[in-house]
Amino acid sequence: MSGFPKVENYFLPLNKIKATNLHFILNEKEVKPLPSEAETVLDYIRSVQNLKGTKIGCREGDCGACTILVGDLQDGSVRYRSMTSCLMPLVNAHGKHIVTVEGVNFPDRLNLVQQAMADSGATQCGFCTPGFVVSLAGYCLSNQDATKENAIAAIDGNICRCTGYKSIERATDIINEQLKGKNDPIEFVVKNKILPEYFSEIKEKLQQISEETKSLIEIIKRPEAANKFFVGGGTDLYVQRHGDMKEDNSFLFNRRELNFISKEKNTCFLGPAVTVSDLRTSEIITTAIPQFQNFSKLVSSTPIRNMATIAGNFVNASPIGDFSIFFLALDAQIELDSIEKKRTIPLRKFYKGYKQLDKTLDEIISRISFELPSKNTYLNFEKISKRTHLDIASVNTAICLNIENGIIQKAGLSAGGVGPIPMFLEKTSTYLQGKKINNDTISGAIETMKTEISPIGDVRGSAAYKTLLLEQLIKAHLMPLLNN
Ligand SMILES: Cc1cc2nc3c(=O)[nH]c(=O)nc-3n(C[C@H](O)[C@H](O)[C@H](O)COP(=O)(O)OP(=O)(O)OC[C@H]3O[C@@H](n4cnc5c(N)ncnc54)[C@H](O)[C@@H]3O)c2cc1C
Ligand code: FES
Ligand code: FES
C-alpha cells in the first residue's frame, strides 16, 4: 500500500496491447477467459461457466442477489470481501479468487450457513438466498469477531422481499455459535468443516498467479474517445453506462501500485484505487479519524463499499456524493495526470456545474491528499436519507473545524443535495472563522448558509424541506460543541 505510480503506466500506447487472457480462480478451478468473453463477472459465471446459483435481480448493486466473494492476497493471507458481480468488470477478477454460491457447497450436505438458514426458516422463494449465503460465508471467512452486529452488517447489501429479516437474524445466531474461537479464519472454517477444504489451497494458487497480474497492464490503454472510461470499482459506471462498457477501457481497480494509503508528517495520500472499505480498515485512517467507521456505515452497503473508490466518487460528481462532501470539508487536494501535464487542484475548485468538472477526458485522478485531523480538529459527517442504510442522501453535510481556546480558527463546511454540485459552503465557512460557538453563531451560520444554497424540489423532498434538513444538520454539527 505504498509508492507512487509512474504516469506512463496509465496510458500504454495501442500497439503494446496484447489480448492477454485474464487468469483467476473460480471456486475450485483456474480459468483464463478472454477479456471480451463477458463484460461483468455476473455474465461470465452465469452465461459462460453456467453457474446459475448466482442470481440476477436489479443489476444495479441494490439487491445483493448476485453477491460473490472476492479473495486476494493481503499481507501474506487471503482476504475475502463480498462484491456485487453485476457491477464488477470481468477484468477486475484478474488474479483473484472468485467464489460463487456453488463454491461454498459440500457435495453431500449443507454447509453451516445453508443449514442455519434452513433451520431458521430463513428462506421462502429462495431468489435472494444465494446472496445471503455467500455474504454470510464471507463473514465466516473474515477476521471479524463473531457478534450479532458484525453478522448483520455482513448482510447489509442483501435484500429479501418475502421472508422477513428476523428469521435470517436467527440464522446468524446459529452461525455465531459455531464461530466461537475463530482465530485464523481459513484454517478454522476448513478444520471445522464449515466451508470446503479447497479454501486452504487458495493462498498458494494465488501466489502462483500473482506475478501474472502484472500482465494486466497489457489490456490497459488510454481512453481516447468519449466512450472510453477510466474504471474504478464500476459501481457508478456499470449502473449509468452499462451499455457503453467495453473491455478496452482503462481499469484501475486491480492495480496494486494504485492502491495506497500513506502518510508523510500530517498529510495523508490516497491512491486512485483506494476503496471505502480500504479506508475503513486502514490504521492511518482509523487512528486519525476513529469516527470514519460510523460515518461510512451510512454509505451504501458492504459489497458496494468493497468496490467503490474515493476517486470514482469525486469524478461521478453526484451532488449528493458522500465522499465528495466528506473530503470537501477536509479541503482535499487532487492530483490530475495526463500525458501532457500534471497538476494539483483543490477538490473545492473541481466542480464547475452539474456533472461539469475541471478535468479533461484524458486526465486521471492519480492521488488525493488531505491533512489528517489533529487534536484541535472537530470533524463530523451527517446524512439524511429515506432509509438509514443503502440509500442515497436527501441532504448530507460534513464539517471540519480547527478550534483553539474556544475560537474557530479554520472552518470547512460542505453540503450535498442543496445545489447542482457537491457544495463547499464558502460563505458559511468564512462566517464561522474567528467565532466562538454559541447559539448566535449557530443562528448566524444557518442564515448565511441560506444565502448560498440553491436546492430544487425532487423525489427526495421539496426545496424548503431540504433547506430545513440542512438547517437541522448544521445544528447537529455545532450543538455538541456548545459549552465546550
Ligand atoms: C447500490 C449502490 C449504492 C450506492 N450508495 C452510495 C452512497 O450511499 N453514497 C455515495 O456517495 N455513493 C453511492 N453509490 C455510488 C458509488 O458507489 C460511488 O460514487 C463510488 O464511490 C464510485 O466509485 P467507483 O470506483 O465504483 O466508480 P466508477 O463507477 O468506476 O467510476 C465513476 C466515475 O469516475 C471515473 N473515475 C474513476 N476513477 C477515476 C480516476 N482515478 N480518475 C479519473 N476518473 C475516474 C469514471 O470514469 C466514472 O466517470 C452507490 C452505488 C450503488 C450501485
Ligand atoms: S443483481 Fe442486484 S445487486 Fe447485482
Ligand atoms: S427468499 Fe424470497 S426474496 Fe428472499
Q: What is the pLDDT of residue 2?
A: 39
Q: What is the pLDDT of residue 461?
A: 86
Over residues 74-90, the pLDDT tens digits come to 988 999 999 999 999 99
Q: What is the pLDDT of residue 4?
A: 41
**Quick one: which atom of ligand 3 is closest to the CA of 122?**
1
User: 238 and 142 in one domain?
Assistant: no
Packing angle between helix 463-478 and helix 439-452, nearest 10 degrees?
150
Among 202, 241, 219, CA closest to 104? 202
Q: What is the pLDDT of residue 7?
A: 43
User: 272 and 232 in one domain?
Assistant: yes
Q: What is the pLDDT of residue 400?
A: 98
User: 69 and 189 in one domain?
Assistant: yes
Structure-derived torsion over alpha carbons of residues 73, 74, 80, 83, reported in degrees to the nearest 10: -90
Q: What is the pLDDT of residue 361?
A: 84
* Cβ 235 under 6 angstroms from ligand 1: yes
Mean pLDDT, range 277-295, rounded to an integer = 95
Give the C-alpha separation, 183 to 141, whole Å.
10
Among 386, 385, 405, CA closest to 395? 385
User: 105 and 205 in one domain?
Assistant: yes
CATH number of domain containing 479: 3.30.390.50
Give the other-Cβ count within 10 Å of 27's Cβ: 21
CB 329 within 8 A of CB 362: no
Give the C-alpha separation, 373 to 327, whole Å.
12
251 or 235: whose pLDDT is higher? 235
Query: DSSP secondary structure string, 83-109?
Result: EEGGG-BGGGGTTSEEE-GGGG--SSS
Q: Alpha carbon of 348 to those of 164, 268, 278, 403: distances in Å?
A: 43, 17, 24, 21
Give the C-alpha separation, 79 to 56, whole Å.
25
> Strand 230-231 and strand 250-251: pairing?
parallel
Give the C-alpha separation, 249 to 226, whole Å.
11
* Cβ 239 under 6 angstroms from ligand 1: yes
Across 385-468, the runs of DSSP E, i.e. the strands, are: 395-404, 407-416, 423-424
Give the C-alpha separation, 306 to 276, whole Å.
7
- pTM score, two decimals? 0.93
Mean pLDDT, range 293-304, rounded to an integer = 92
Residues in contact with 280: Cβ distance below 8 Å, sequence separation at least 6, in sequence order: 286, 292, 293, 296, 305
User: 164 and 46 in one domain?
Assistant: yes
Query: DSSP secondary structure string, 7-29?
Result: GGGG---GGG---PPP-EEETTE
Q: Which of 372, 389, 409 is the last residue of a domain?
A: 372
Q: Which of 324, 353, 372 is the last residue of a domain?
A: 372
| 36-40, 150-154, 377-381, 421-425: segment of lowest average pLDDT | 36-40
Q: Minimum-distance ligand to the CA of 133?
A: 3
Burial label for 264, CB within 10 Å (0-12, 13-18, 19+), is exposed
What is the tally of structural domains in the chain? 3
Is 174 contained in some domain? Answer: yes
User: 276 and 158 in one domain?
Assistant: no
φ, ψ of residue 362 in degrees (nearest 5) = -90, 5
Tally of CA atoms within 13 A in the half-sphere of 384 that contains its CB:
18
* Cβ 131 under 6 angstroms from ligand 2: no
391 or 406: whose pLDDT is higher? 406
Q: For residue 311, report the distance from its CA to the centre of ligand 1, in Å.
A: 8
Residue 413, domain extent: 373-484
Residues in contact with 354: Cβ distance below 8 Å, sequence separation at least 6, in sequence order: 317, 319, 420, 421
User: Residue 50: pLDDT above 90?
Assistant: yes
User: Residue 479: pLDDT above 50?
Assistant: yes
Q: What is the pLDDT of residue 265?
A: 95
User: Residue 25: pLDDT above 90?
Assistant: yes
Over residues 340-390, the pLDDT tens digits come to 788 999 999 999 999 999 998 888 899 999 999 999 999 999 999 877 777
Burial label for 174, CB within 10 Å (0-12, 13-18, 19+), is middle
Give the C-alpha separation, 192 to 187, whole Å.
8
Provide the residue type at 336 as one letter: L
Is 301 contained in some domain? Answer: yes
Q: What is the pLDDT of residue 224?
A: 56
Q: Which of 346, 372, 398 is the last residue of a domain?
A: 372
Mean pLDDT, range 452-478, rounded to an integer = 94
Q: Whose CA is nearest to atom 2 of ligand 3?
A: 125
Q: For residue 63, report the distance from its CA to the centre of ligand 2, in Å.
A: 5
Mean pLDDT, range 386-413, rounded to an integer = 90
CB 260 within 8 A of CB 3: yes
Give the other-Cβ count within 10 Å of 20's Cβ: 16
User: Residue 310: pLDDT above 90?
Assistant: yes
CATH number of domain containing 5: 3.30.465.10
Q: What is the pLDDT of residue 197?
A: 97
Helices (H) and strands (E) in the chain, counts: 17, 18
How is residue 44 annotated by DSSP?
A: I
User: 63 and 13 in one domain?
Assistant: no
User: 93 and 175 in one domain?
Assistant: yes
Tally of CA atoms within 13 A in the half-sphere of 374 that contains its CB:
9
Over residues 98-109, the pLDDT tens digits come to 999 999 999 999
Residue 422, C-alpha cell as written in the block: 457537491
Q: What is the pLDDT of residue 222?
A: 52
If one residue of 129, 134, 166 were mutated to test the ligand 3 pocket, choosing by the most ligand atoms within 8 A of its CB, it would be 129
Instruction: State percent of the chain over pLDDT 90.
Output: 75
Q: Minimum-distance ligand to the CA of 86?
A: 2
Over residues 115-173, the pLDDT tens digits come to 999 999 999 888 999 999 999 999 999 999 999 999 999 999 999 988 789 999 999 99
Burial label for 326, CB within 10 Å (0-12, 13-18, 19+), is buried
φ, ψ of residue 461 in degrees (nearest 5) = 135, 165
222 or 366: whose pLDDT is higher? 366
CATH number of domain containing 111: 3.10.20.30
What lines the ligand 3 site, CB under 6 Å?
123-129, 160-163
Q: What is the pLDDT of residue 192?
A: 96
User: 123 and 111 in one domain?
Assistant: yes
Q: For residue 123, report the distance from its CA to the centre of ligand 1, in Å.
A: 32
User: 35 and 64 in one domain?
Assistant: yes
User: 160 and 44 in one domain?
Assistant: yes
Please, what is the average pLDDT of the chain? 90
* Cβ 469 under 6 angstroms from ligand 2: no
Q: Whose CA is nearest to atom 4 of ligand 1?
A: 300
* Cβ 299 under 6 angstroms from ligand 1: yes
Q: What is the pLDDT of residue 340?
A: 77
Mean pLDDT, range 440-456, rounded to an integer = 97
Is 214 contained in some domain? Answer: no
Give the C-alpha separation, 329 to 79, whole Å.
32
Q: For residue 222, report the distance from its CA to the centre of ligand 3, in Å.
A: 43
* Cβ 304 under 6 angstroms from ligand 2: no
Give the C-alpha separation, 338 to 8, whole Å.
9
Mean pLDDT, range 239-266, rounded to an integer = 85
User: 226 and 196 in one domain?
Assistant: no
Among 238, 229, 241, CA closest to 60? 238
Is 216 contained in some domain? Answer: no
479 or 253: whose pLDDT is higher? 479
Provide the residue type at 260 as one letter: F
